[in-house]
Amino acid sequence: MTTYIGTATLRVDGRDKVTGAARYAGEYDAPDLAHGSVVTSTIAKGRIRRIDTNEAMKVDGVLVILTHENRPPMADSDKAYEDDVAPEGSPYRPLYDGEIKFNGQPVALVLAEDFETATYAASLVKVDYDEQPHVTDLERQLGNAVALDPPAKPRGDAAKAFATSDIKHQADYSVPIEHHNPMELFASTAVWHDGKLTVYDKTQGVQNVQRYLCGVFETKPDEIRVMSPFMGGGFGSGLRPQYQVVLAVLGARALKRSVRLVLTRQQMYMIGYRPAMIQRIQLGAKPDGTLNAITHDATTMTSQYEDFHRNETTWSGLLYKSEAASYAHSLVRLDLPTACDMRAPSAATGVYALEAAMDELAVALKMDPLELRLKCYSDSDQSTGLPFSSKNLRECYSQGAEAFGWNKRSFEPRSMRDGNDLIGWGMATGIWEALQVPITVRITLTGNGHAEVACATSDIGTGTYTIMAQVAADMLGLPIDNITVKLGDSTLPPSPVEGGSWIAASVSNGIVTTSNAIRDELLKMAQAMPNSALKGALADDVMLTNGSIMSKKNPRSTVMVADAMRHAGIERVTQEKATKFKKGGKHAHNTHSAIFAEVKVDEQLGVIRVTRLVGAVAAGRILNLKTAHSQVMGGMIWGMGMALHEETLVDHRFGRIMNANIAEYHVPVNADVHNIEVIFVDEQDDIVNPMGIKGLGEIGIVGVPAAIANAVYHATGKRVRDLPITLDKLTRDA
């Protein structure tokens, strides 16, 4: 039954994407379309005293300039602004009042007949403020951190176990603010049809945005439809509705016509980000590498109005065998926008700290870093004690090490050299959760062998269209070209936001559920036929294949689907089924990886090149080798960026981000990317879900920053614990 599942099937939307036929939120046209441009605040905290729009209004073609003073009505309760994934607090309300909560906050929306006019007029809007003192510096505000509940119960007496350990390591690891920088700009096109709106939005959750807009504008559900058939990268930045969608709808309601609003790259730095954080790790061990104690204390940051946080410390608690463990997490509130999820939120950062610390412990133990991981290997989640439904990390270590040639590593730092270059080899473990969410899938199968699969999920560029078509083709026994996938439309059957690596598992199993309902219905029709070849067959004993219903026991017992439908007097069958996943089972569900990195560092100049990266991943069933490879490789490259390049720079005097563009916010470019090898380790999991799928969205990045940081140490003998590892940090004592 698996013609497509597990193969390197080409993207079904690939042609549309490379030819431009795939349209994105800012590319939809509408009759009489007006264009918006946002004016943003230049102070971090205070109140708007006066907005002078006179000059701007004089520009030919300007339609209206909306501010908190003249905007159409919006809801006035926090509840109305809470989207499905809002953290605790009082959500930001765009153009609601004159209060400034962060630098770069929208203060006016200029609407004009064309984009150029709107942009020019926006530059003429003058805003006066009553400024108040602001705080944006995490390090200086540590004294004002508030404690959060620790993520898991501590075990044993970690402080005592650490204090009495023969070998101890303690250090602080810090990560700066980072931004997602998806290629596609945040954009919304609100198309006006006599009071009702179709909103094309860049989002990872159309139904989340739809519910949110209905709350903010106090409208009936059928008055707003949200569409996002394609997305040029999300990485978590599109999980929550962003302010441009509110402003586009506000503009459409003010003008009673269609409005398009595209944020600038600079404005995209004033929405969500990965929070900066400082993490203290303590590891205590016996001389043989047995861990006695792990403690992990994290301090992260958020806005003044919402307490966004993720559990950085979870991973230290569950990954390695250690009798005692304790965690603490505190949060600093700053005058910046609320932080948000960014690829592998909490794991990219938390596992970086843990795995850099494990490397330092290995050095203290004079032990090979891989051997230390094997010594502490755990077959159960150490926090809960639950066994993993599958965990083939051992094989990741083994296949990754083999591909990399790890056994040729010399232990001492600065012991491998190539001319001016010091060579370093480092490794780290990666881990993420195999999550699943309730989801509903509708399938319509026609007598002529075509099927439409529909679900309000998103394809944020990862290949969801393709895997949905693959699974449906195999389940319905049809060629993939006969499958049409519909997603990214709030009127389709329900799906939560696309994030957390949960959609592949959820929607694939959802397709299985609904396909089985289609099969059951077809079997009944087939059995109603005179002299049916499937008389008496049970549903689980038949499958759909080659346009027929076939007995698995006796493949010659078949009934053509077309014949069954014709006999029943119908042309199509439609089934819509919800799939739920059990929570609180007897197993822990996680994906794992082993990352191996080679760096070459110019000894005098500190220039770092990552010459080899090997990632061996155990993530259950891999649905599509091609899209899976791309996704993991992309994550690994991002991990390189996190290790060496990425850093959002805030000038705390202004509370303002100064490198808000992709020339000065550095991500890896082609020249930085050398050999990257992705290995998928076999991992059968019959427990996690019927399809054995565990998800791949996050795992690619996890572990990579630590593997590279550890390789840099091995090359140079210098430990840089504040990312990114730039050459000035590496040569700062030189």
Partner 1 sequence: MNNFQYSRATDVADALSQIAADASAKFIAGGTNLIDLMKYDVEQPSRLIDISHLPLAKVEETTAGGLRIGALVPNSDLAWHPLVTERYPLLSSAILAGASAQLRNMASTGGNLLQRTRCFYFYDVATPCNKRDPRSGCSAKDGINRINAILGTSDACIATHPSDMCVALAALDAKVHVAGPNGERAIAMVDFHRLPGDTPQRDTNLDPKEIITAIELPAQGFNTHYTYLKIRDRLSYAFALVSVAAALKMDNGTIRDARLALGGVAHKPWRNPEAEAALNGQPPTHDAFARAADIVLHEAKGFGHNTFKIGLARRVITRALTQAANGTPQSQSDKKIA
- For partner 1, give the closer residue by CB, 582 or 671: 671
* Token pair 């620790």 in the structure block, residue: 150
* 116 counts as binding partner 1 under rule CB under 8 A: yes
For residue 501, give the nearest of 688, 236, 317, 226 by alpha carbon: 236
Q: Does 721 bind partner 1 (CB under 8 A)?
A: no
Return the residue matching tokens 């989801």: 439
CA–CA distance, 493 with 575 (Å, rounded to integer): 11
Rg of the chain, C-alpha, whole Å: 27
Contacting partner 1 (CB under 8 A), which of 420, 448, 546, 675? 420
Smallest distance, partner 1 to C-beta of residue 13, A: 26
Count, residues near partner 1 per rule CB under 8 A: 43
User: How deeply is 89 buried, as exposed, middle or buried, from its count of CB atoms within 10 A (0-12, 13-18, 19+)?
Assistant: middle
Q: Which of 152, 514, 552 is nearest to 314 (CA)?
A: 152
- CB crowding 612-634: b at 16 or more within 10 Å, else e: bbbbbbbbbbbbbeebbbbbbbb
Stretch that binds partner 1, among 351-359, 380-388, 435-443, 665-673 (CB under 8 A): 665-673
Task: Give yes or no for residue 52 binding partner 1 (CB under 8 A).
Answer: no
- Residue 96 in contact with partner 1, rule: CB under 8 A: no
Three-state secondary-structure class, residue 569: coil
d(CA 576, CA 559): 23
112 or 354: whose CB is closer to partner 1?
112
Question: Taking contact as CB under 8 A, which single stretch among the options 128-136, 498-506, 631-639, 651-659 is the one that binds partner 1?
Answer: 651-659
Among the residue ranges 152-160, 457-465, 484-492, 653-661, the one whose residues contact partner 1 (CB under 8 A) = 653-661
Judged by CB under 8 A, the residue of 659, 690, 717, 719 near partner 1 is 659
Q: For partner 1, which residue of 153, 385, 653, 686 counts as binding (CB under 8 A)?
A: 653
323 binds partner 1 (CB under 8 A): no
Q: Annotated catalytic, 355?
A: no
Q: Is there binding between residue 185 and partner 1 (CB under 8 A)?
A: no
Contact status: 613 vs partner 1 (CB under 8 A):
no
Contacts for 1 with CB less than 8 Å, ≥ 6 apart: 474, 475, 477, 543, 545
Task: Pick the piece of the chain touching partner 1 (CB under 8 A) from 115-123, 298-306, 320-328, 440-448.
Answer: 115-123
CA 287 to each of CA 179, 360, 362, 366, 369: distance values in angstroms, whole numbers, following the listed order: 41, 14, 10, 9, 14
Q: How far is the CB of 177 from partner 1 (least distance, A)?
A: 13
Which residue, 237, 243, 287, 260, is CA-closest to 63?
Answer: 260
Q: Residue 343 has which token pair?
A: 């690829």
Please report the DSSP string for 86-138 in residue order.
--SB----TTSSSEE-STT-EEEEEEESSHHHHHHHHHH-EEEEEE------T
Of residues 572-611, those binding partner 1 (CB under 8 A): 600, 602, 604-607, 609
User: How far is Cα 121 from Cα 63, in angstroms, rounded to an integer?
Assistant: 10
In eight-state DSSP terms, residue 389 is: S
Q: Is position 120 an interface residue for partner 1 (rule: CB under 8 A)?
A: yes
Tell whether residue 651 is a contact of partner 1 (CB under 8 A).
Answer: yes
Segment contacting partner 1 (CB under 8 A): 113-121, 221-229, 568-576, 693-701?
113-121
- Is 634 one of the binding residues for partner 1 (CB under 8 A)? no
Check binding of 734 to partner 1 (CB under 8 A): yes
Q: How far apart are CA 320 and CA 352, in angstroms?
A: 14
- What are the catalytic residues? 698
> Using CB under 8 A as the criterion, which residues of the chain lie in contact with partner 1 when the complex forms?
42, 59, 103, 116-117, 119-120, 123, 264, 266, 420-421, 600, 602, 604-607, 609, 644-645, 649, 651, 653-654, 656, 658-659, 661, 663-664, 666, 668-672, 726-728, 731-732, 734
